[in-house]
Structures are given as structure tokens and as C-alpha cells.
Amino acid sequence: MEEKNNKVDKRVLLGSLLIGLGGLFFLKSLNVFDFNFTRIFFSWSFFFIVIGLYLSFNTSRKVLGGILAGLGFIFILPRIFPSIDYNSSVIFAIFLVAIGIYIIVNQRKKAEIENDNFGQISKDVIDDVAIFGGGTKIITSENFKGGNVTAIFGGSEIILKGCKLAEGTNVIDVLAVFGGTTIIVPSDWNIVLNVTPIFGGFSNKSVKDPNRVIDLSKTLIIKGLVVFGGGELKTYF
């Protein structure tokens, strides 16, 4: 519970970012600043910084967030200081180092995940990341508590087959940026969908089984942020 309380609400983060950008553009329009902000803010580098900070402050993917924010900061420097210039060799080297660090740090302990030949994963908390790729994961758990699903320029399908919800309120936090995710849940789960789309969407295609009683003492909240991406919620019987 303490970990959830420490997270920054994505709406507050997005609102603060928009207020900051609006303030800078307003000051520029008054000729207070003579600086080309669009060169910085409308760039892939700045985009990486924003996504990296979001992952660092609002998900358990702090390593990935730090790497993305670091890459964004490195590559935004030439836009701020024109005297700085990177050639292709430097850029390639930086990406190799970043990928290597992520692979090493992201190694999961064998005790946390058990994989079989059919791609099933037995765990109570999911932490799935799809970047420039993706796949299908079938999750089994007797006490599913939610987790994080991240799709950046990629996609994923999360099938909560055979899962039983933990008591109380459980949360799946979704982040889809130029990507998407599909979450498939049992038809008797009590689901609350609260995903914020920006130039994207997250559709609810779930269907309740009238012959099954929904246990209201167990709730799964699917919340998150979709930017230039998409996703959907489905049910299976």
C-alpha cells in the first residue's frame, strides 16, 4: 500500500507538464525568451525524457525509466547547445551500452517466475514491458494482485487465464505509447476501467456472463495512460 501511495498520479504529471509548456510558450510570445522551444519540446529526445520520468516515478520499471530519460537527456543536448554534436558511431555506442545495462539489470530471479513450454507464467503481480516488439502472456495465479503493463512502440496480449483475484482492490497500471495492449479477464470479475487516452483509445469489449455471480469484494482497476496508442479489455468464459 505504501508503494502505491508514493506514485505520482499520471493526470497530475500530465497537467503539470502542459502547464509548464504553456507557460514557456506564453513567455516566448511576450518576447521574454528568445529561444526556439519547439526545437526541444517537439523532439524524440524530449519524448524519451517524459516517458522515462513517468516510468521512474509511477511504475516499478525505474531502471528502464532511468535509461530512457538518460538517453533523452544525452540526445537533447545538441538541440540546446548547437556546439555539441554526436556522430553516428557515438550514437550507436550509447544505444549499445543502454541496451546492455537494461539486459543485465532486468534479469529476473528464477524464484519469481516459472515458465513452461506453453508460455504460461505463474505469479501474483505482473510487470510486462513490450518495446519495439511484444507477445502473448498467459498468467496463472491463485491470488492475482495486478501490476504494470507497458507498451512502447510495441504490443502485448495479457491473458489472465485461471487467475483468481486477491481480496480487496487490485490495480493494473497501463502505459501505451505508440503501442497497445489487450487484457483478457474472466467474465465474473468486477472490473473498473479508468484509462486516460491522449490521441489514442482504450475500448471496453468485455461481456458479463449472466449465469455467473460477480464477487464485489474483489475488484480489478485497470487504469493508466494511452498516448498515440490503443488497447482493449476483453473477457473469456
Final residue in a domain of this structure, among 105, 129, 146 = 105
**Separation of alpha carbons 180 and 155, rounded Å:** 5
pTM: 0.63
Q: What separation in angstroms does the CA of 200 have from each of 22, 76, 179, 183, 231?
A: 22, 26, 10, 16, 9
Instruction: Give the torsion through C-alpha atoms of 41, 225, 20, 40, to 10 deg.
Output: -10
Are both 101 and 126 inside the same structural domain? no
Cβ 163 vs Cβ 187: under 8 Å: no
For 209, the domain range is 120-236
pLDDT reported for residue 143:
92
**Separation of alpha carbons 44 and 140, rounded Å:** 37
Asked if residue 111 is part of any domain, the answer here is no
Whether residue 38 has pLDDT greater than 50: yes
Asked if residue 115 is part of any domain, the answer here is no
Whether residue 119 has pLDDT greater than 60: no
Tell me if residue 97 falls in helix, strand or coil: helix
Asked if residue 161 is part of any domain, the answer here is yes
For 27-31, what is the mean pLDDT? Answer: 69
Cβ 84 vs Cβ 68: under 8 Å: no
Are both 91 and 150 inside the same structural domain? no
The label of the residue with cell 491470488 reads 143
Asked if residue 114 is part of any domain, the answer here is no
Final residue in a domain of this structure, among 79, 105, 131 = 105
pLDDT reported for residue 31:
67
Asked if residue 110 is part of any domain, the answer here is no
- Nearest residue to 154 via CA among 190, 184, 183, 128: 128
Q: Number of structural domains, the chain?
A: 2
Are both 137 and 224 inside the same structural domain? yes
pLDDT-wise least confident of 92-106, 133-147, 209-223: 92-106
pLDDT reported for residue 114:
45
pLDDT reported for residue 92:
75
Those residues whose C-beta lies under 8 Å from the C-beta of residue 182, and which sit 6 or more positions away, are 155, 156, 157, 158, 231, 232, 233, 234
What is the b/e burial string over 14-44, where b = at least 16 CB atoms within 10 angstroms of the residue's CB? beeeeeeeeebeeeeeeeeeeeeeeeebeee
Asked if residue 96 is part of any domain, the answer here is yes
